[in-house]
Amino acid sequence: MLRQAGAFRANQQVEERVMDSNPLERERGITILAKNTAVNWHGVKINIVDTPGHADFGGEVERILRMVDGVLILVDAAEGPMPQTRFVTRKALALGLRPIVAINKIDRSDAEPLRVHDEVLGLFIDLEATHDQLDAPFHYTSSRAGTATAELEKPGTDLVPLFQSIVDYVPEPKGDPEGPFQMLVSTLDFSSFIGRIAIGRIERGRVRVGDGVALLPLGEPGMVSEEEDFERNRVTRLYTFDGLHRVEVQEAEAGDIVALSGFETIEIGKTFTSVDHPERMEGIAVEEPTISVDFIVNNGPFAGREGKYVTSRQLRDRLFRELERNVALRVEETDSPDTHTVSGRGELHLGILMETMRREGFEFQVSRPRVITKLGPDGERLEPYEELMIDVPEAYMGVVMEKLGPRRTEMIEMKNPGQGMVRMSFRIPARGLFGYRSEFLTDTRGTGIMHHRFLDYGPWAGPLAGRKRGVLIADREGSVVAFALGNLQERAQMFVEPGDLVYEGMIAGENSRPGDLDVNVTKEKKLSNMRTTASDENVILEPPREITLEYALEYIEEDELIEVTPKTIRLRKRVLPANDRKKAARAARVADAS
Ligand SMILES: Nc1nc2c(ncn2[C@@H]2O[C@H](COP(=O)(O)OP(=O)(O)OP(=O)(O)O)[C@@H](O)[C@H]2O)c(=O)[nH]1
Ligand SMILES: [Mg+2]
């Protein structure tokens, strides 16, 4: 769309996924932060906000939806609607926005656009779309080829039909440009030159650089009384969006999405108004967090070796700073100054924060995630449930069901779209997913795909079994030796490779059976005087399992921690010395028996 609307120079080389500008986004191939752009199509300015698709970034989606008058829903022509599609679509439909559907990637050899068309309609009905919304225009598109068509028999040649639908179908902004100025802060940006920048859509009136404007505190919508204190300041800079650029302007009016600076107390959800008409808009409702983890100062033996920021003070300041723009996040202090509890919308949401911090040079530890329970109307305990969607080859269906059963899973749907694959969706307590991913990957030999997302709160499911297998724990500090791994790998999947540094209490691999084992991964082969060649190099080692942050979050048990540094992710026992762990286990057994 950018290209065909002339956002690029004729021969400009444009990289793929050009809006995903943040390094983490580029690396992972997903959108994390919503971004604004705008194109001009035959004299009509179309503001576009690109949102993340994943449900964990729902907070991001919820607030930007307040800036738009319509939505374009992109669905993969082979995969069909995914759990995350349902999430964003529900939000958009509930706000009464009119959707346009693009069934994209019709160039894929396994595309089934008609089936996907039906699935999207089914989804709309499920989500109680209005008549108007059900009447959504559908386009079959290939964004790679730059084509759209409303009828499959007539292959598209460009995106004109899609642009036309947007112009015809999405209402113009309704705000009166002659009324008193009003704008909701939907998102934030920061520049070291000009400070905090508010981004939002002007609801009503107009604003000029130099205007004195009020910035109202959060609160109930309506006129703000004289007593309430609010910031009054001058707009120092004003920008609108155009293609991939921000354009500095002197004036903007109702319907424009702008970036505006000059205020100290900018916060998401606050309202800007003219000074003589301080009318607050409804704030941004963000869904409550569902899981928590503890961020703990790194107290392992390797602390401070790889990170720049390691103190509890630095960690605390950084976490609280994150709240300014990450609206679905909560940070709480605990009894210990070394520990903060951080709550978010899912493992990915928290995982991205951790990943961002380690890139900035932070070093810290994280606990196993806990679900956030609530009380129901009759005082009963409720816990979060997720929708789990699994694609596996038919042969692995049995083992998946067998493993999910004890995790209190309920099957919602099973489909057999062909090609030997089955798609199943389940309702599962969020707790039931902890530790499941690694089993799933092992059980399906890496051929399965799983997605999950928050669904709702439901009755507490009772005790659930934890991880099935135990871990191998390094019993001393040192450098990992191939010879030692060669002996261990028959009964374990290693997480470390030769040359890695380990310490006592660090987790080096997964036991293929239940129960933890303390092992020496630094053990050298005894040198005899008959030594021949470098025997170490003859050991054939399985590659270690790669431990990513999200993997680690789903993997660890309550008595374990993840150590996160800019260079490494290590798993460890909370209690490092093997003797202390044994004593604790003995004490627990005694307590159990009595
Ligand atoms: N074959 C084919 N691939 C496409 C087409 N459009 C996009 N892709 C590929 O699909 C992948 C995902 O594209 P993205 O633009 O990141 O998808 P997205 O919906 O923005 O993803 P999120 O923002 O993370 O939800 C990229 O590798 C694209 O190259 C298409 O029309 N045909
Ligand atoms: Mg994207």
Mind listing the pLDDT tens digit for each residue in 415-426?
876 678 888 999
Closest to 515 measured CA to CA, from 485, 472, 474, 578? 472
Q: Which tokens belong to 510?
A: 């997964």
Atom of ligand 1 nearest to the CA of 143: 31
Nearest ligand to the CA atom of 53: 1
Q: Is 64 exposed, middle or buried (0-12, 13-18, 19+ CB in 10 A)?
A: buried
**Would you say 254 and 205 are in contact if contact means Cβ atoms under 8 Å apart?**
yes
Q: Which helix (H) or strand (E) holds 196?
A: strand 195-204
What are the backbone angles phi and psi of residue 134, rounded to the nearest 5°? -65, -25
Q: How far apart are CA 125 and CA 130, in angstroms?
A: 9
pLDDT given for residue 263 in this prediction: 92
Average pLDDT over every residue of 377-386: 92
Closest residue by Cα to atom 24, ligand 1, is: 30
Q: What percent of the chain has pLDDT over 90?
A: 59
Closest to 577 measured CA to CA, from 296, 298, 301, 297? 301
Give the CA distances from residue 513 to residues 6, 425, 470, 517, 547, in Å, rounded to whole numbers and listed in that order. 60, 29, 6, 10, 19
Looking up tokens 């994209």, which residue turns up? 104
pLDDT in tens, 161-204: 999 999 999 998 888 999 999 999 998 887 778 888 999 999 99
Closest residue by Cα to atom 19, ligand 1, is: 53
Atom of ligand 1 nearest to the CA of 52: 23
The answer, yes or no, to whether residue 314 has pLDDT greater than 90, is yes
**Would you say 69 and 99 are in contact if contact means Cβ atoms under 8 Å apart?**
no
pLDDT given for residue 528 in this prediction: 62
Nearest ligand to the CA atom of 143: 1
Q: How far apart are CA 133 and CA 124, in angstroms?
A: 8
pLDDT given for residue 16 in this prediction: 81
Atom of ligand 1 nearest to the CA of 74: 19
**Would you say 523 and 482 are in contact if contact means Cβ atoms under 8 Å apart?**
no
Looking up tokens 């000074």, which residue turns up? 275
pLDDT in tens, 340-370: 999 998 888 898 899 999 999 999 999 999 9
Nearest ligand to the CA atom of 74: 1
Nearest ligand to the CA atom of 17: 1
CA of 362 to the centre of ligand 1 (A): 32
CA of 351 to the centre of ligand 2 (A): 18
Looking up tokens 């800007």, which residue turns up? 272
Specify the pTM: 0.78
Atom of ligand 1 nearest to the CA of 53: 25
Q: How far apart are CA 156 and CA 370, in angstroms?
A: 49
CA of 30 to the centre of ligand 1 (A): 9
pLDDT given for residue 331 in this prediction: 96
Higher pLDDT, 584 or 73: 73
Among 190-199, 307-316, 326-335, 539-548, the range with the most confident prediction by mean pLDDT is: 307-316
Looking up tokens 């997720």, which residue turns up? 386
Task: Please list every protein residue whose CB sits less than 6 Å from any atom of ligand 1.
Answer: 16-17, 29-31, 52-54, 74, 104-105, 107-108, 142-144
CA of 379 to the centre of ligand 2 (A): 41
Atom of ligand 1 nearest to the CA of 25: 24
pLDDT band at 24; cut points 50, 70, 90: confident
CA of 140 to the centre of ligand 2 (A): 18
pLDDT band at 594; cut points 50, 70, 90: low
Closest residue by Cα to atom 20, ligand 1, is: 31
